[in-house]
Structure 1
Amino acid sequence: MMKLDGVVAFVTTAEAGSISMAAKRLGLAKSVVSERLAELERTLGATLMQRSTRKLSLTNSGQTFLPRAQRILREAEEAASELAARSGKLAGPLRISAPVGFGILHLGPALGRFLRDYPDIELSLELDDSFVDAATGGFDAVLRHGAIGDGRLIARRLASSRRLLVASPGYLAEHGSPASLAELEHHRGILYSNRASDWRFADGTGWSVIRPKAGLRVNSGLVMRDAAISGLGIALLPSFFIYEAIAAGQLIEIGIGLQAEGAELFLTYPKDHGASAKIRAFAESLRRSFGYPPYWERAMAPHSQP
């Protein structure tokens, strides 16, 4: 009989790309994962993976079996979640991915609240600023800010956040404060390298787009914030990164008469997975922790430009 722990080992290894990474995600010894894979192959009478010292790849049998194995695990997990929800108790693993900066600044207290309410959930959080595919990345759900634009996904809105143009008092004293898009284009920009370097602003009829000169490109919102505080240029950042720096006078919001494209926060998961009771509970817990409007927007109110 095929054992579920062997299916878990196979799916995790296929999604992680190596037995070592799969063992790390599962919290098991590498030898245990290898043995479970070998037992699954013996049970199925087929080789699912080709192993070498350099890489691991799926055989034709493995490629055929993988989507079915993923479906088996999803259905088993969803069935367990439904039963737990009916009994008023949620339990078992929940694997979430989130951006690094937002996770560092805002997820610690929120996760504490969630796990106090649901102590039997085994939560695993991975912080990653690169694009994480919520449909194929091996996570139950992925937290994102900004547009989703992926028909394979369902997105549960968690909170809103504005994107604001900011710079240090020293930078603005030396270079002046731009009052229009035309003036803004002549300033040094601190740009996020994991998305298009365009800055988009609503102009009443659509979007106005500018491409500022890059003084710095970096794939971290926290580094962008700190670079702006240091006076390296103007940054366009979500309010959840900068609300404290604005309140402390380290950064000043720049008003050019146009609203920048926002940064809505979503919890996304694949349509074909369905929303398990755990995902629904996690999303609702985050909403309660962030508040409406979220606490970073409430803190910004006295300091916002008219």
Structure 2
Amino acid sequence: MLKLEGIAGFVAVAESGSISEAARRLQLSKSVVSERLADLEKTLNATLLHRTTRKISLTEDGGAFLERAKRIMCEVAEAKADMAERRGSLIGPLRISAPVTFGRMHLGPAIYSFLEKYPKLELTLDLNDRRVDAAADGYDAVVRHGPLEDSRLVAWHLAPSRRMLVASPEYLARNGTPGSIEDLKNHRGVFYTNRGLSDWRFISDDGPITVRTSAALRVNNGDVMRDSVLAGLGIALLPTFITGAEIQKGDLAVIDIGMEAPEESIYVAHPEGRRASAKLKEFAACLQTAIGTPPYWDAWNNQEN
């Protein structure tokens, strides 16, 4: 019969590459971890690990079993958390993926208060602009900005995301302020590459309009885009959650060409078919409260209106 402690030991050794390190993580002796591994291999009738004096590596069978073993341990952790939630407590692991810039700028304060409120939670926050597969990559949920393109995700709306053309006052003093689409074509742009775009898209009375211009910079990070615009490199179409503070201080100027970019959303989403746990629901609620309605980063615009 498969024993959970043997599976847990195998996962710990496979992830750390060392029985000593696995024993430290599990707070067990090395001999106990070794015995549990031997018992697991005997039960499975398979060699899971290559052991030498210098290193431990997975066999082909070990690699195949590892993903299943991780899922088993995840299910056990979720079952324990579910029982705790039934008793009114939020405990256990919670794994979230979020974009780098949004996570760095806006998730911190909300997460700190969330974890202070629920000290038995174990949050793993993976900041990555790559579009991860929440289910396949083992995330409980993803925080995302933009259109919800994956129909396998169930989403909670956090906030609208307005995108505006911005440039530094110095750049506009040197090059002039565009007031129309035609004017905009004569300027240099800073573009976000993760969506594969090197143009700007707006909504007019006649429908969508795409504007192409020369690129001063193409980059896959919002912080670098904002900083390059602050440095006077060109014009960028950026979300106000990145530029709100600089607009309010006057370090960036909003460019009005008589039309706006399509509004997008910031959301938390979990894989379809997986029950949203109480801790995930509370995580989403904490983010909604921290961001506010309208979002706090648009305070400058609310004051103007």
TM-score band, normalised by the shorter chain?
0.7 to 0.9
Where structure 2 has 5 or more consecutive residues not aligned to the other structure, the ranges are none
Match of 1:294 in 2: 295
User: How do 1:117-196 and structure 2 match up within 5 A?
Assistant: 117-196=117-196
Match of 2:283 in 1: 282
Confirm or deny: 8 A CA contact 1:135 1:152 kept in the other structure. Answer: no
Q: 1:266, 1:204 → 2: CA distance?
A: 28
**CA drift at 1:211:** 3.0
Per-residue Cα deviation, 1:39-78 (whole angstroms, up to 9, x for no partner):
644432234578999xx78847854x56754653454333
**CA drift at 1:203:** 2.1
Q: 1:10, 1:183 → 2: CA distance?
A: 63
Which residue identity does 1:91 align to in structure 2? I
Match of 1:216 in 2: 217
User: How do 1:44-59 and structure 2 match up within 5 A?
Assistant: 44-47=44-47, 59=60
Confirm or deny: 8 A CA contact 2:160 2:266 kept in the other structure. Answer: yes
Q: Does 1:252 align with 2:253?
A: yes
Which residue identity does 2:225 align to in structure 1? M
Q: Secondary structure at the match of 1:259?
A: coil
**CA drift at 1:144:** 1.1
Confirm or deny: 8 A CA contact 1:81 1:277 kept in the other structure. Answer: no
Per-residue Cα deviation, 1:234-266 (whole angstroms, up to 9, x for no partner):
011111111110011100011112121234111
TM-score relative to the length of structure 1: 0.82
Q: 2:38, 2:256 → 1: CA distance?
A: 62
Q: Does 1:91 align with 2:91?
A: yes
Identity %: 48
**CA drift at 1:8:** 5.4
Q: 2:148, 2:9 → 1: CA distance?
A: 30
Q: 2:269, 2:154 → 1: CA distance?
A: 6
Which residue identity does 1:191 align to in structure 2? F
Match of 1:115 in 2: 115
Change (3 A) 1:236 1:5: farther
Per-residue Cα deviation, 1:113-143 (whole angstroms, up to 9, x for no partner):
1112211101121222233222222222221
Confirm or deny: 8 A CA contact 2:188 2:216 kept in the other structure. Answer: yes
Q: Does 1:273 align with 2:274?
A: yes
Where structure 1 has 5 or more consecutive residues not aligned to the other structure, the ranges are none
Q: Secondary structure at the match of 2:154?
A: strand
Q: Secondary structure at the match of 1:299?
A: helix
Confirm or deny: 8 A CA contact 2:247 2:300 kept in the other structure. Answer: no
Change (3 A) 1:165 1:50: farther
TM-score relative to the length of structure 2: 0.82
Which residue identity does 1:224 align to in structure 2? M
Q: 2:196, 2:108 → 1: CA distance?
A: 29
Q: 1:163, 1:260 → 2: CA distance?
A: 6
Q: Secondary structure at the match of 1:194?
A: coil
Which residue identity does 2:253 align to in structure 1? I
Q: 2:81, 2:266 → 1: CA distance?
A: 25
How many matched pairs? Answer: 297
Worse-superposed segment, 112-121 or 125-134: 125-134
Q: Secondary structure at the match of 1:256?
A: coil
Runs of 4+ off more than 6 Å? 9-14, 49-53
Match of 1:228 in 2: 229
Confirm or deny: 8 A CA contact 1:166 1:236 kept in the other structure. Answer: yes
Q: 1:98, 1:257 → 2: CA distance?
A: 33
Give RMSD over aligned pairs: 3.5
Confirm or deny: 8 A CA contact 1:47 1:62 kept in the other structure. Answer: no
